[in-house]
Structure 1
Amino acid sequence: MKKLLVILIVCLVQNTKAQESDVKKTIQIFFEGMHQGDTLKIKSVCKGLVLQSISENTKGNTLTTENTEDFLKSIAALPVNIKIEERLLDYKIQIDGSLAHVWTPYEFYVNGKLSHSGVNSFQLFKDNGIWKIIYIADTRRK
């Protein structure tokens, strides 16, 4: 009986790690697309995406909602001489069935210079066995 329990626990842990790996890969594909200006790659890992940002400064906090198509157009329109890079510093992943939440502190660079930092909060939905990003909220601090 103990062996069966150990085997069951090992299987559950491996399944959880595989799920976390798939969720993390989805987010990595999103940022690969963003860094490369590849909106098709970004779209491939999103479904009904909602984007919100909280800008924090001395005058107070501001919540903005960005239209997904406008976001994609801005990525596609980046001039070739401007390189953006969002460096994710950590991943905290929580999964319950077909819902995943990921918390990722980040630093955002433009042409190698730190522009701002903050945290991303991703919500993902498991759609027919494939994780899709449905919501991103982030904070932005200079």
Structure 2
Amino acid sequence: MKRCTILAFIVLFLSTKLFAQSEEDKIKTVVTHLFSGMKTGDSALTRSAFAKNCIMQTIVNKNEKLSVRTEQIDDFIKFIGSPHKEKFDERIVFSKILIDGPLATVWTDYKFYIDDKFSHCGVNSFQLAKLDNRWQIVYLIDTRRKDNCSVLVK
């Protein structure tokens, strides 16, 4: 009887681990929803990745002068959902994910394509918070460049 109890406990423990989605997987799902929504023009899916007051920024290099440009999340969502014939395809690699309780940092290398034509590459840096028992992007900043992209995503 003792063996059966131990065996049942082990099976229950392993099956819970096998079917439970890790926090890292949940975070990856949120980030993936952002880019899947961009690619398909699904503004609701894209919006679902962001916290209500998310800050979205990009580092801009104009004439060798760097600055940080802030974009309004609602404008971005509206742009994604507006009819357009181009497909915006940002291909990412999850390079690093750090988690401390309700805070996560995600670093993704990316290449951006409009339809199948390469546009630019860079890195996304995400800050996520676990709010209302789900991960949400609260801050996003990226770099953009056209050179030194060969080491990044295909």
TM-score band, normalised by the shorter chain?
A: 0.7 to 0.9
Q: SS of the counterpart of 1:23?
A: helix
- Would the aligned equivalents of 1:54 and 1:139 in 2 still touch at CA under 8 Å? yes
The answer to whether the aligner puts 1:33 opposite 2:37 as a matched pair is yes
TM-score under structure 1 length normalisation: 0.82
Q: SS of the counterpart of 2:37?
A: helix
C-alpha deviation, 1:58, in angstroms: 4.8
1:64-83 equivalent positions in 2, closer than 5 A: 64-80=69-85, 82-83=86-87
CA deviation string 1:21-52 (max 9, x = no partner) = 11111101111111111111112221121100
1:52-67 equivalent positions in 2, closer than 5 A: 52-56=57-61, 58-67=63-72
Read off the aligned partner of 1:74 and give its amino acid letter: F
1:101 corresponds to: 105
TM-score under structure 2 length normalisation: 0.76
C-alpha deviation, 1:57, in angstroms: 5.3
Consecutive unaligned residues of structure 1, counting only runs of 5 or more, are: 1-13
* Among candidates 10, 18, 23, match of residue 22 of structure 2: 18
Identity %: 40
Task: Number of aligned residue pairs: give it.
Answer: 127
